Amino acid sequence: MYDSHIAFRGTLQQLLEKVERGDMVPKLQASHAPPCKFWTAFQVINGIRHMAPVIHGPKGCTYSVSSEYKMNNCEYHGVPLEPTSCTAQNEADVVYGGEAKLLEAVKEAEQRYHPELIVIFSCCCSGIIGDDVETIAHKAEQEVNAKVLAIRSEGFGGDFRSGYENAFSVIMELMEPPTKKMEKTINVIGARQGPTYTEWTEDLDEIERMVYAIGAKINGILCGGCTVEEIRRARAVELNASWCYDWGQKLGDLMEERFGIPYARTGLPYGLKATEEWIMGVAGPLGLKERAIEMVAKETGNLAGEIDTLRRFFDGKTALVEITEFPGPIRALALARMVQEFGAHPIVVNIHPYTVKERMPSIKFLLGQGQNPEVILTKGLFSLGTFRSSWETEAELEMIAALYDNAIYLGSPLRQPGVPQVNLTTMTGYPHFGYRGIRNLARLVQSSMEHAHRPRSRLFREVLYGN
């Protein structure tokens, strides 16, 4: 029974090896799609203020990214709705090419929006017909006041990770040689969705708080609501540190390689050890170690009650960290490390092989740091169709949880495997990062202990898994 539901069981290292051999990536991934390269490239660049995108493609790609990343999120972050424009490619443009139209569109974007930066994105249409967006960007720059960049971001041209990486790589063209170093100042890199949204701004707030608490300063959050000026002077900092290791890595590596700016390579600051590592990773190179040690001791001392709660909850338990719906693979691995720190045995459930493939560099880094948790992939993960995959996974999780007499579950309330469960999606449960994160996670854990016996409601069950 158990075996018929399990697609993989082993360590993260073993899963990685299987993925590298091509054993685990299904040939057809017909459902559960992440966004394409165009979407993710836009997501990064959208985080720069007063940037006018000129999307060289049809209206559908344009309205969709605007709707997803801009229109809604603008509501909650006190920022204006800035334009998302395109060349609205039609059949004639596809047949005859659209370079001339693109050039005019860039000029018009400058005239209409007065941006500091114009970024041209290619889409599937312009990519296939071979419109040269980079040359047009170069030409346009001679005719407009704004800086003009281009990203080859056609949706078929790479996985979703490549969109982030290309975008971060392209913004390096804006970075100017520094005349003077900005002492004890860092860039926080790897953020996205800027003026509109950076995933869990509360996490970012905690990072900022910790950086300033050790006496360091931040030049900019690249590209989480940063200005073009902050990007221009990004080379003047002493250090880069990542907001999210996964997305910051590429830019950190490139800036180190090209400009000699050191990069603090640390994982996500979940739990005491990882938070301390993150802080020391910044403090050390900036010569702020003593102040950081003092700060870590003080913050840790203030959390005695919360740390006790976390130890009581996790100690001796089997913690199932399930990532299909939330919190995503890199956070899940950070959580796995945290629960281990507090005495639990972590099992990461359903880290999808295509995720492993696309996040290979980050996962290798985490393995190199000594993180190699047990991983289980269930058959439901590979099922065709979102609904089927979802209810199969729920049934499989219930089955796995029942195998242990001490299981606890960390994930989303979309699941309820019948064991104490920490709901990581609770909106008021953020930040998860840093010391405030420990306080919040302790609160979530406390609630989990107190309410473990409560049943799943019929409303939730039938909405999620059918009648």
Could you list the residues that contact another protein (CB under 8 A)? 27-31, 33-39, 54, 57-64, 66-68, 71-72, 74-75, 80-81, 83-91, 93-94, 101-102, 104-109, 111-112, 123-125, 128-129, 155-158, 160, 384-388, 466
Judged by CB, which is closer to another protein: 69, or 245? 69
User: First-to-last CA distance in the chain?
Assistant: 24
| CA 249 vs CA 189, 229, 243, 433: distances in Å | 8, 22, 10, 18
CB of 86 to another protein, least distance (A): 6
* DSSP reduced 3-state for 453: coil
CB of 421 to another protein, least distance (A): 23
Judged by CB, which is closer to another protein: 154, or 306? 154
CB of 139 to another protein, least distance (A): 14
DSSP conformation class of 50: T
Judged by CB, which is closer to another protein: 305, or 466? 466
Judged by CB, which is closer to another protein: 31, or 457? 31
Q: How far is CA 33 from the centre of its chain?
A: 16
Judged by CB, which is closer to another protein: 105, or 221? 105
Q: Are strands 147-151 and 117-122 parallel, antiparallel or unpaired?
A: parallel
Q: Are strands 374-378 and 345-349 parallel, antiparallel or unpaired?
A: parallel
CB of 244 to another protein, least distance (A): 21
Query: Do residues 178 and 232 make contact, with C-beta atoms less than 8 angstroms apart?
Result: no
Judged by CB, which is closer to another protein: 50, or 209? 50
Judged by CB, which is closer to another protein: 100, or 402? 100
Within 10 angstroms of residue 9's Cβ, the number of other Cβ atoms is: 16
Strand order of the β-sheet with 217-222 is 217-222, 185-189, 239-242, 263-264
CB of 161 to another protein, least distance (A): 12
Judged by CB, which is closer to another protein: 122, or 266? 122
Radius of gyration of the chain (CA): 23
| Cα-Cα-Cα-Cα dihedral sign, residues 454, 458, 464, 467 | positive
CB of 90 to another protein, least distance (A): 5
CB of 152 to another protein, least distance (A): 12
CB of 412 to another protein, least distance (A): 16
| Cα-Cα-Cα-Cα dihedral sign, residues 344, 350, 355, 357 | positive
How many residues would you count in the chain?
467
Residue 368's Cβ-side half-sphere holds a number of Cα atoms within 13 Å equal to 9
Return the H-helix or E-strand segment holding 306: helix 304-314
* DSSP reduced 3-state for 283: helix
CB of 38 to another protein, least distance (A): 6
| Cα-Cα-Cα-Cα dihedral sign, residues 274, 276, 278, 280 | negative
Judged by CB, which is closer to another protein: 124, or 237? 124
CB of 237 to another protein, least distance (A): 33
CB of 191 to another protein, least distance (A): 21
CB of 424 to another protein, least distance (A): 22
Judged by CB, which is closer to another protein: 17, or 143? 143
Q: How far apart are CA 161 and CA 453, in angstroms?
A: 40
Helix, strand, coil fractions of the chain, as percent rounded to 5: 55, 15, 35
Two tokens, residue 438: 């420990």
Residue 91's Cβ-side half-sphere holds a number of Cα atoms within 13 Å equal to 0
Q: How far apart are CA 95 and CA 127, in angstroms?
A: 13
Judged by CB, which is closer to another protein: 187, or 378? 378
Judged by CB, which is closer to another protein: 98, or 281? 98
| CA 276 vs CA 247, 289, 344, 360: distances in Å | 21, 11, 20, 25
